[in-house]
Chain A
Amino acid sequence: MAGLGVTAVKAIANALIVLIVAALIISTVFVEQSEQELKGYALELFQARVRALQMKGIKLTEAQLQQINMTIWRDLGLLEPVPVRILRFTLWSITFNFGMFPAKAHYAGALGNTAKDVILAALPNTIMLFTTATLICILIGIFLGLQTARKAGGLADRIISTIAMISASLPMWWVGMLMLLIFAFDLGIAPFACIDVYSDLAQLSRHVSGFLYWIYSIPIWLKYMWLPLLTIVIVSFGGWAYTIRNVVISVMTEDFVHVARAKGLPERTVLYKHVLRSASPPIVTMSALSIVGSLGGAIITETVFSWPGMGRTFWVALQNGDTGVLIAATYVTVFLFVVIIVLLDFIYALLDPRVRTGMAGGAR
């Protein structure tokens, strides 16, 4: 198990470096962009505090006012030189201290008005949509990949390869627009904007609450989710099937497969027990890359469907020049990305006996 521990430490150390670099890039951008915004926010805070003190009947001198203003500026980090501020923002980002950034625009589902609230409302929706889509893709991909690998060069194989090639150059968000044209405009069986889910949920909450509300909200979410889900699956399943096929083909030439066949095991057992188990580590790595790749397209796909997740948050923030939210959303997306990679690296290590037993090679 020592190998596993070393791998884990290495992966986490690597992830931390990546996160710090990303946070540095984002913070540099932020320090430039948010200067005015933060000054405005500081003024608001100042006025609020002064008003609160005056309500209590406290008379303030000019020096005291100055003092309050300075405290606020110091708290917001406006007094320090630029490099220090960049480092401070980096620290804030790494510690998820986004409650300091006000959100300008109105974001659906957000309860408060800071970047933190916006992200907290959007993030679960993104995770819900994309984990479901990825799970479906993995299942379809494993099934199709194994079937096509069995008859490599056959008709099914060539069709899957072509689909993979085509979908590699298709923008997922554009396919989303087409899906909306077909299913929402022409057939009228899907909602145009998933953001309406909140009005449906609000209506539901007037009738039921607690556990029942939770149960009843599932079909509502599904009603809005199925079209973006279908889009993601349609665009991604070809790539998954193709990569899994390639891995399986290379595994199938190995001796133990011939042995298994020679033993007279049924083909199903050979494929799903022997081949799949030994093909799983590379499949996991490729899954990591695939998820990570789809995360990028997902940002824009969400916008097309008005799915109230991180992607739409990006869009709304961009439209409104809402730097604080933009920074927070970027950092959280980067964080998710890196966490997925680390997790999958770790799973890879768990699956690969060479890594598990501390032998050389294995995870990146």
Chain B
Amino acid sequence: MSTYVERIRWFLGELKRVKSGLFGFILLFILVGVALAFPLIANQQDVMYWSGHAEYWQKKMLPVLAPPAWINLFSPQKYAVTHVIPVTKSNYTILNMSNDKDLIKYLELMNPDVAKALKQLPASQRKALLNNLRKGLHFKYLIYIEKDMVYDFRADIPPSDIEVLAKIGPIVMRKGLVQGINILFSRPDGITLTLTPGASTNITNPFNINQYADLTSPGLLTRLGIPVTTNTSGHESFNEIVANTTWLFSLRDYISSVINSRNPAIINAILGPILRAVNATIKTGTYINPMVFLMSKAERGIVSGTAPPLKGRYVLSFRFLIKVPKGFKEPRFIVEKAKVLGVYGLLGTDIHGRDLWPAFIYGVRWALLVGILVSVISTFVGVMYGVISGYLGGWVDVVMTRIAQVVYSLPVLPLLIILAYFFGPSIWNVIIILIAFGWVGIVFTVRSMVLQIKENLYVEAARAVGASSWRIIFKHVFPQILPYTFASMALSVPGAILAEAGLSFLGLGDPNLVTWGKILHDAQAGNAVLNGAWWWVLPPGIGIAVVGMTFVFIGYALDRILNPRLIR
């Protein structure tokens, strides 16, 4: 036992003299720490739901192709940062038409003269009149909903989007039942846009339906992206936004769809206030960045996107005036999350709006696992092969050496590609195939070492005593060779990691796992280079290089310490 302790102490003493080796071991220590502490550093679910779970990422509402947030430290022009914006104003007023007081209030709002005259009537007459009025109404409740979100824009580059995730419904859409919606976007310079064409930009009386756009009008719902279901009750068939309908409103997509509609009437109704302020028009077919257009100063160049940004308080407000017929529930409009999408997180996001940080950190695990598993097993197999071949000698040796030479001369990657393609994409298949080609490198050195060891007296003595070949191999030959293989074990790790990354890059990796090669595969498939998404390309490659270098440093250090002949 003490000899082991001594050996380790000796090794550590030697290691201190080989600086690059020490550096390699420190790096390895950090890498293993990161791999183990992954659940603490990043969100494990992100990695579990990485592929094939679009709804998970949609719910997270992350920006698409967003640079990392720390870019603002270096960029002279500051980017808007992704963050949740609060709901600053919330209002829910309900007028119950079966209640006289509410009905009178409604009349007061709609037609003050009628209400005044009504108030002067005697009570019984008033009651009868109110009942008559009530019969003319198509609804039981009139509900006014208001939600305001405020974004204080202080950056130089507008966010890529402002998104609102809400639960909405139930809202019934019947003929003759006008449901009001008005989405307002007010800018710090006093210009207010209504995003719902036909609505007023300035609501003076929230109960006046004329100030709203009609939610039931064709096209508006589809453009807003609110899902509608068709219901039938009795002989009547009607559309309905059912209770708790999830609605993701994307300001950018909405304005894009407006501009792309190429309908001058709609474009003017929505973007008119800004266009009139600068006396500009939007020519059909020109590309306009919607968010830059919405958040730039109303000056020349706003259409082409060259106007300076307009900083200050922006308010996005949703107003609804909903009529609820008899037998239906009151609607809700609950804002679950409102978000400004700009630069994001430690490593940004990819083209599917996925956070790249957890994926990158998770990559450490598989890089280490693949690298170490492949190198340890293939070195072990190679050593065993070389020992057996060298020790047994004769025709066994000839055949085994020939086989090893053939495998050694086979080009690895093309065959890896074809075998990975054949066996199907699984990380374990990849590891097995890498081992199948990786064991052969060390065989020849080991074999020549065994040929020397075989001639030693103690081996001869053991044989004379009657020890079996296997006993001699395991007891006397193998332990002697093992230390010399550590260096080549470490040096074969980078190759294994590069090979796995290469296969994953070609799309032959495990589809359910996030590895660095897979991230780069996605980057290639998602045109990261064409989009200039350096934050998508850079980290995985640096990761591969760092893990590779760690083992190169360790390998060279082990070589110098354990194989002293090589010291020059």
Contacts and interface: CB of A to CB of B under 8 A. Distances in A.
Contacts of B532: 181, 185-186
A303 B506 contact: yes
Nearest to B548: A169
A297 B494 CA distance: 13
Interface in A163-195: 165-166, 168-171, 173-175, 177-178, 180-181, 184-186, 192
A17 B401 CA distance: 13
Contacts of B453: none
A173 B411 CA distance: 18
A192 B414 contact: no
A239 B298 CA distance: 58
B552 A181 contact: no
A275 B545 CA distance: 34
Nearest to A28: B422
A26 B506 CA distance: 18
B549 A166 contact: yes
Q: Closest 6 CB pairs between A and B?
A: A169-B548, A296-B413, A174-B541, A337-B411, A169-B494, A333-B414
Contact of A181 (B413, B524, B537): B537
Given A303-B506, A337-B411, A178 B524 contact: no
A300 interface: yes
B498 interface: yes
Given A18-B406, A300-B506, 10 more contacts: A33-B421, A177-B537, A177-B541, A299-B502, A303-B506, A314-B417, A326-B421, A333-B411, A334-B414, A337-B411
Contact of A29 (B419, B497, B507): B419
Contact of B422 (A29, A178, A181, A341): A29
Nearest to B410: A22
A292 interface: yes
A72 B528 CA distance: 47
A103 B549 CA distance: 41
Interface string B520-544: 1001100011101010011011001
27 contacts: A14-B405, A26-B415, A29-B422, A32-B422, A33-B421, A169-B552, A171-B544, A171-B545, A174-B520, A174-B540, A175-B541, A177-B528, A178-B538, A181-B529, A181-B532, A192-B529, A192-B530, A296-B499, A299-B417, A303-B505, A314-B417, A314-B506, A315-B506, A318-B417, A318-B506, A326-B421, A333-B414
A25 interface: yes
The majority secondary structure among interface residues of chain A is helix
A237 B131 CA distance: 93
Interface of B: 402, 405-406, 409-415, 417-419, 421-422, 494, 497-499, 501-502, 505-508, 520, 523-524, 528-530, 532, 534, 537-538, 540-541, 544-545, 547-549, 551-553, 556
A241 interface: no
A115 interface: no
B541 A299 contact: no
B502 A297 contact: yes
Contacts of A166: 545, 549
Given A14-B405, A166-B545, A318-B506, A171 B422 contact: no
B498 A177 contact: no
B506 A171 contact: no
A21 B410 contact: yes
Contact of B414 (A165, A171, A177, A330): A330
Nearest to B541: A174
A38 B402 CA distance: 35
B412 A18 contact: no
A149 interface: no
Contacts, number: 140
A319 interface: yes
A327 interface: yes
A295 interface: yes
For A168, A184, A341, which residue has the most chain B Cβ atoms within 10 angstroms? Answer: A168
Interface in A311-364: 314-315, 318-319, 326-327, 329-330, 333-334, 337-338, 341
A304 interface: yes
B494 A18 contact: no
Contacts of A18: 406, 409-410
Contacts of A170: 541, 544-545, 548
A330 to B, nearest CB: 5
A296 B502 contact: yes
Nearest to B550: A169
Nearest to A178: B537
Contacts of A181: 529, 532, 534, 537
A171 B419 contact: no
Given A21-B406, A304-B524, A173 B418 contact: no
B422 A33 contact: yes
A295 B409 contact: no
B537 A329 contact: no
B418 A29 contact: yes
A14 B406 CA distance: 8
Contacts of B418: 25-26, 29, 326-327, 330
A326 B529 CA distance: 26
A273 to B, nearest CB: 25
A37 B422 CA distance: 15
B413 A171 contact: no
Nearest to A169: B548
Contact of B415 (A17, A25, A171, A304): A25
Contacts of B549: 165-166, 169
Contacts of B413: 295-297, 299
Nearest to A182: B534
A192 B532 CA distance: 11
Nearest to B542: A174
Given A29-B418, A180-B529, A184-B529, A338 B409 contact: yes
Contacts of B538: 178
A314 B537 CA distance: 22
A185 B529 contact: yes
Nearest to A185: B532
A327 B529 CA distance: 30
Interface in A270-317: 292, 295-297, 299-300, 303-304, 314-315
A185 B530 contact: yes
Contacts of A326: 417-418, 421
A243 to B, nearest CB: 14
Contacts of A333: 411, 414
Nearest to A364: B405
B519 to A, nearest CB: 11
Nearest to A21: B406
Interface string A112-138: 000000000000000000000000000
